[in-house]
């Protein structure tokens, strides 16, 4: 299951996410989304967990908890909407 993690501190790393969510089970990947132009965190990320039960436990357990002195917003990631990248 793909999990959205919002309200991340700008100093949070992929490893920080991995460690925090590993307390609930196996973590396949953890990625903080970075701004392409500035190289700075955009304040959100995604965690992929292969077991849905563990993922649901992580969502329940992590939502509202603090990581880097900021309360996290954690929920199941919605599928990405198709983008219309037509540029004239």
Domain boundaries, the chain: 2-76
Q: Which helix (H) or strand (E) holds 33?
A: strand 29-34
Give the pLDDT confidence of 13-57 residue by residue, as tens digits.
999 999 999 999 999 999 999 999 999 999 999 999 999 999 999
Give the predicted TM-score (pTM) of the model.
Answer: 0.89
Cα distance between residue 62 and residue 64, in whole Å:
6
pLDDT at 85: 67
How many residues are there in the chain? Answer: 88
Cα distance between residue 55 and residue 21, in whole Å:
9
User: Is CATH 3.40.430.10 what the domain over 2-76 is classified as, yes or no?
Assistant: no
């Amino acid at each position: 299951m793909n999990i959205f993690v919002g309200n991340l501190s700008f100093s949070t790393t992929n490893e920080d996410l991995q460690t925090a969510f590993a307390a609930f089970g196996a973590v396949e990947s953890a990625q903080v989304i970075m701004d392409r132009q500035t190289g700075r965190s955009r304040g959100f990320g995604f965690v992929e967990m292969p077991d849905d039960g563990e993922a649901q436990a992580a969502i329940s357990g992590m939502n509202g908890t603090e990581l880097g002195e900021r309360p996290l917003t954690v929920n199941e990631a919605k599928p990405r909407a198709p983008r219309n990248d037509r540029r004239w």
